[in-house]
Amino acid sequence: MMSKYKAKHIIIFELILLLILSSALIKQGLDQEAAMYASMYDGEKKFIKWVSFDVSHKALDRAYRYDVETIEGEVHLNWIELLAYLGARYGGDFSKYKEKHMTDIAKKLLSGESIDDLTKDMKYYNYYYEAYSAVLGGMVGKYQIEVKDESAPGGKRWEEKYGLKAFLPIAKYYPYSHFDDFGVSRSYGFRRKHLGHDMMGQVGTPIIAVESGYVEALGWNQYGGWRIGIRSFDKKRYYYYAHLRKNFPFNKSLKEGSVVLAGDVIGYLGRTGYSSKENANNIRTPHLHFGMQLIFDESQKESVNEIWIDCYDLILFLYNNRSETVKDPETKEYHRVYNMIDPVADDYINHQIYDYDDEYIDIHIYE
Distance of alpha carbon 64 from alpha carbon 75, whole angstroms: 15
The 3-class secondary structure across the chain, one letter per residue, is: CCCHHHHHHHHHHHHHHHHHHHHHHHHHHHHHHHHHHHCCECCCCCCECCCCCCCCHHHHHHHHHHHHHCCCCCCCCCHHHHHHHHHHHHCCCHHHCCHHHHHHHHHHHHCCCCHHHHHCCCCCHHHHHHHHHHHHCCCEEEEEEEEECCCCHHHEEEEEEEEECCCCCECCCCCEEECCCCCCEECCCCCEECCCEEEEECCCCEEECCCCEEEEEEEEECCCEEEEEEEECCCCEEEEEECECCCCCECCCCCCCCEECCCCEEEEEECCECCCCCCCECCCCCEEEEEEEECCCHHHCCCCCCEECCCHHHHHHHCCCCCCEEECCCCCCEEECCCEECHHHHHHHHHHCECCCCCECCCCECC
pLDDT digits 0-9 by tens, 185-227 = 655 545 557 789 999 999 999 999 999 999 999 999 999 999 9
- Number of Cβ within a 10 Å radius of residue 18: 10
Statement: residue 109 has pLDDT above 90: yes
pLDDT of 357:
45
The answer on pLDDT for 361 being more than 80 is no
Chain mean pLDDT for the chain: 88
Tally of CB atoms within 10 A around 4:
8
Check whether 304 has a pLDDT greater than 90: no
Per-residue pLDDT reduced to its tens digit, 113-136: 999 999 999 999 999 999 999 999
Would you kindly state where each structural domain of the chain is located, as residue ranges?
A: 57-136, 165-352
Q: Which CATH class is domain 165-352?
A: mainly beta
* Predicted pLDDT at 184: 77
Please tell me the distance from the alpha carbon of residue 98 to that of residue 345, in angstroms, as a whole number: 36
171: phi then psi, degrees, rounded to nearest 5:
-65, 155
What's the pLDDT score for residue 13? 58
Specify burial of residue 191 (Cβ count, 10 A radius: 0-12, 13-18, 19+): exposed
Mean pLDDT, rounded, for 261-285: 97
List, for residues 13-56, the tens digit of each pLDDT value.
Answer: 566 665 655 554 444 444 444 444 555 776 666 899 999 999 99
In angstroms, the CA 174 to CA 288 distance is: 13
- Residue 225 backbone class (left: φ over 0; alpha: ψ -120 to 50; beta: rest): left
